[in-house]
């Protein structure tokens, strides 16, 4: 099962919810609340469609969200001078479990 780790890497302005280093962990369709630091509705709206695509194996570079294995998305809040909030930039990484990594290696070796 695909697991995503979404990490706050930068905040422009002031965010009332997140701080740099906070993370959101998603496994399958479930937000792992016990491993998640915070959730924000503005941010989640920005992340939602990309969460599904990345969980299904779409590479970040294929959808213009990164150059490698990590995707980058930002919050909807534009921050100053438009709002009193701030834009949060997230790094999304797909974490595969050891069983899946082993199966992928076997498939490549059998080609």
pLDDT digits (tens, 9 = 90+) for 4-37: 999 999 999 999 999 999 999 999 889 999 999 9
For residue 107, pLDDT beyond 70: no
Q: Which residue has the tokens 């570079």?
A: 61
pLDDT band at 103 (very low <50, low <70, confident <90, very high): very low
- Rounded CA-CA distance 90/73 in Å is 5
Please report, in angstroms and rounded to a whole number, the separation of the first and last CA atoms in the chain: 24
Backbone angles phi, psi at 38, to 5 degrees: -160, 160
Instruction: Decide if 84 contacts 14 (C-beta within 8 A).
Output: yes
Chain Cα centroid distance, residue 43: 10
In this prediction, residue 4 carries a pLDDT of 95
- pTM for the whole structure: 0.82
Summarize pLDDT for 31-90 with one digit per residue, the tens.
Answer: 999 999 999 998 999 999 899 999 888 999 999 999 888 999 999 998 889 999 899 999
At 111, is the pLDDT very low, low, confident or very high (cuts 50, 70, 90)? Answer: low
DSSP letter (8 states) at residue 35 = G
């Amino acid at each position: 099962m695909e697991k995503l780790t979404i990490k706050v890497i930068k905040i422009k302005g002031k965010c009332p919810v997140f701080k740099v280093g906070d993370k959101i962990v998603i496994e399958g369709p479930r937000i792992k609340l016990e491993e998640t630091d915070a959730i924000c509705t503005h941010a989640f709206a920005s992340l939602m469609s990309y969460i599904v695509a990345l969980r299904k194996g779409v590479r970040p570079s294929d959808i213009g969200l990164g150059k490698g294995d990590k995707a980058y998305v930002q919050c909807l809040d534009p921050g100053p001078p438009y709002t009193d909030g701030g834009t949060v930039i997230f790094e999304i990484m797909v974490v595969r479990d050891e069983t899946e990594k082993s199966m992928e290696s076997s498939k490549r070796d059998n080609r």
